[in-house]
Structure 1
Amino acid sequence: MSTLNSHPRSIHTITSTRRDSQLIKRATVSSDFKPSDILIERFQIWKSVCSSLIIFFKGVSRIETNTSSELYRLGDAVHEVLPLRTSLFMTEGGLQDILYGIRDNTQAIAEEHDAIAKTVNSSIVLHLEKLKKEVKLHIRNIIQDTGKLASLVAAERETSTKLITSLARSIALVKSNPIAVESRQDPWLCNHIVLEQLRKQVYEENMLQKSILIMQTNSAQFEEALVRAIQTVWSIYDEYNDRKSVEVHNRWANSTQLVQSISPNTEWLAFSSRKDSLLDPDTPLRKPQKITYPGDRDPSTMAIHQGILQRKKRFTKSYSEGYFVVTPAGYLHEFKSSDLSKTPTPELSIFLFDSTLGAPTPARARNHKFSLFLGKRTTFVREQAYTFRTRSHAELMGWWEVLKELCKVYFISSVPQDRSGGVTAAVLAVGK
């Protein structure tokens, strides 16, 4: 009977012991969240901030270096043209002084940009890299100082959990079967051991808490120092950059002043005042008709007769007007107009020494005409005979009288007059 009554009590006791163990474990194990972790995460971000600022100022330095190189190149480009030829430009007070000034100012500006680049690298970037190392060291200190204590606390809590569980079992055993309890299972002894362990656990927890509080205080001071250091770095850059910017501005202003200082006509007046530099504006223009050259007055170059004639066309039978010239060489040249500068090449050339001149029409005739029959010497023409017309009988006779002196044969009426033998003499006599 007693055995049957004790069995349910034993089951109840074991169940109660398990429940107490779970509660004890939940109360004593360390939390998943560690107070030091958030500090570590925060300063990891601070390390990234330092890295970003390092990249930023390295970029600033690179830009300043590239700007300096380009400005040096620009100064060299201006230097290429110097010095200017003293025979063409002023040695002082002119364009050459401006170019020298631009070159010197540009090179000085390049030096200012180079100085900014070097200062950023030597002062700003190096200081930021030092800050980054300090942040990494601070993170390491947090891990070392609080991490070791956190591990001790975790170990003590685990030990406490085990001892409290043993206490619960010993209490349950005493209540269920007191005779079976050994000395080491005495609840009093187990409780005494638990109390000592809890004192150790609390001691380690308090040490961890103090360490975290100290680390929080140190972190606040360290972060304040970080911010001040970054502010100092930026102030150094800003102050130096402002000072150099003023110097750069003054250099550009000096170049502007040099360019504006010269009068637009200073160089030209100096150049034009030199002897034999420019043509005298009072020099008269030359006239072609006043040019003399060998043979320009030779009789063979003088026209015997010239003027307007109308020549009958072959197919349309109509007359076209042209300007004709008789030369001592025995040619009758036809031009489109009297302005020989526009049409220097004849439209037609007839060799008169080998041609036959027809009789002129009488004064009472309605049209005043004469004909020319070509000889073998006249080439590059399609027709063998040409008919010419004038506006009056007087003009007709003027032309006819000149042509008869040059043609091989001429007709007065129906009787031909042969000029062979005396042609050469007649031509040579023309113009004398």
Structure 2
Amino acid sequence: MAGLPHRSGTVKTTTTMGSSDDEVIGDSDLGGTTSILVERLRAWKHMVGYLENYVSTTQKVQKAQSKEFEKILKTVSEPLREAHHFVQGEGGVAGLFESLRVNTRGIADMYLETEKSLKSTVLPILEKLHGEIKAKSKELHNGATKAAKQVAKARTTTQKHIELLGQYTAAFDSATKSKQEALNDPYILSRGVVYRLNKQIIEENNNLKELLAIQNSFQQFEAHILETVQDALNRFFQCMGAQSDRQRAMYADMVSTGQQIPTDFEWANFFEKNDASLINPNTPPRSMSNITFPNQEHRSTKPLVEGTIQRKSRAVMKGYSDGYYVVTPAGFLHGFKDNDDLRHDPQPDISLYLPDCTIGNFDGLKFSVKGKDVSGGKVGNAFHMTSELHFKTHSKNQIDEWASALSSFVGSSSAGGSQPTSPTVQRSASTPRSPTATESAVMPPLAESKPVDEKADPAAAPAQKQEDGIVAVDKGEKSA
């Protein structure tokens, strides 16, 4: 099989048969991560908004004296929104705003000539940063919502297929066992669960990878925010440089407070404080190898025999070609192109219900099965005719395994099933031979030929169909 993808270990898995649906589907919800990151971006956006308001108000009140300058103080008099996201005290963003409040209160005689400079050099930087934070928040919200919907859809599909498997494994175990459709064979359904579960895990891992990448980018983005804020504050200081020494000292203190914040200071403290809500970068991805699902080990999902054998093609020049064939406990002989359950949904190319088939012609490494392909469902099966398929194994041990598995279905056709036709026994016209022990174990006696009543059975009216090198007509069958 192809290599299995891994899924994060957020769901406890076991190797027992009694795994619950929750353990298979997974209950990891990354919505909490998305919410706290969106809230943090909102906190940064409001912080930048405070700065924008501060500078713009400063610009507007430059024409006024100290009384008017009180308006500036009001812009930073209220605590920051989502203040719990920042380190309280000195050294962080909260300390920066405390410095703004203290120094602004001391500025009473601000010269007004800096109004135009503030408007043209400081505000555009903060407005651009504000827009970047809003765009980042929108990108995070939209991406997380889309990924979450894809994960939820994949989980729903897996859950439905697991429930379908449970339904037909229960039917298989029931006292009144009845013939199942080929597509409802628990073996096929079990492989279908693997396929859908693999798709679910891919969606979950993609969601996890995307959110983890966004989370890891926050440190760099917040560094950019603080660097931009520091740049804006530096320009603000330059605009106010023409004022008195006292004013210069106060603004220098504000800038110094902002510039002394390490670019990773707020993020490091935030990550340490909220490590339970954020994703651990060392979280391993989920893996199919340590996941089980209900009825995974049910006896009806375990083939009696399986492997790569050859089947004779209907084209005379091609001869035999390899395929992957399985005999299931439900009585089906399924044929597949390969044994890969991960890259595509395992749908059989051909399915024969063995209790309705005739098994015979064991000759060396070869054997044949005569019956009707039932892989197409009820509607498709109505147009299929009985044909004889010829197989060839690769070794004596392999032919013995197939003979043993096939022999368990000889004469086991349920009431109302189609009557098997006689096997075509290939013998020399001049030298008859006795059947081998393998042939005797699985080959029923030849049935007498009976005339076909076209009125009683229209489906048996003269018709001809070529399938895999077999020509089946209303009067006798001919092998290609």
Q: What is the TM-score with the length of structure 1 in the denominator?
A: 0.40
Decide which structure has greater helix share: 1
Q: TM-score, normalised by structure 2?
A: 0.36
Bigger Rg, structure 1 or 2: 1
The higher-RCO structure (CA 8 Å, 6+ apart) is 2
